[in-house]
Amino acid sequence: GRLAGLGPTETGQFVLGVHELAANSVRHGGGIGVLRAWVEDGAAVCEVRDTGHIEDSLAGRRAPRPGQLGGWGLWLANAACSLMQLRTGPAGTVVRVRRNPD
């Protein structure tokens, strides 16, 4: 977090987003994924790649319904970070989050 200029709260939000991406990769992406993290243009960036496929084009963009058991991970990652990008296709899924300093 500090390398990207993030404060403690922003770092916590970024870590929450990254955790949710990693957990989703294990649970929905074939049980294994590749996580990369770096600092780019003054922001913390993380990308998770796996072999899963996401059917819902709005995954992570809509808030889950109260009491809903699934569907929270991508939504939390999106809410905790400044930007979330999702690309999915026959070869798998790549989700990238970015957290800019406030």
Domain that holds residue 7: 2-99
Look at residue 70 in the predicted model and tell me its pLDDT: 84
Q: What is the Cα–Cα distance from 59 to 3, expressed in whole angstroms? A: 30
Look at residue 4 in the predicted model and tell me its pLDDT: 82
pLDDT-based confidence at 77, cuts 50/70/90? very high
Q: What is the pTM of this model?
A: 0.91
- Return the CATH number at 64: 3.30.565.10
**CA atoms within a 13 Å half-sphere pointing along the CA-CB vector of 65:** 3
Nearby residues of 6 by Cβ (< 8 Å), 6 or more positions away: 14, 44, 99, 101
Residue 2 has pLDDT above 80, yes or no: no
Look at residue 3 in the predicted model and tell me its pLDDT: 74
Instruction: Indicate the number of domains in the chain.
Output: 1
Read off the pLDDT of each residue in 4-15 and give the average, rounded to a whole number: 93
Q: Is the dihedral of CA 98, 99, 101, 102 positive or negative?
A: positive
The per-residue pLDDT for range 27-76, each reduced to its tens digit, is 999 888 999 999 999 999 999 999 999 999 899 999 999 998 888 999 99
Angle between helices 73-80 and 8-28 (to 10 degrees): 160
Q: Kindly report the number of other CB atoms within 10 A of residue 8's CB atom.
A: 9
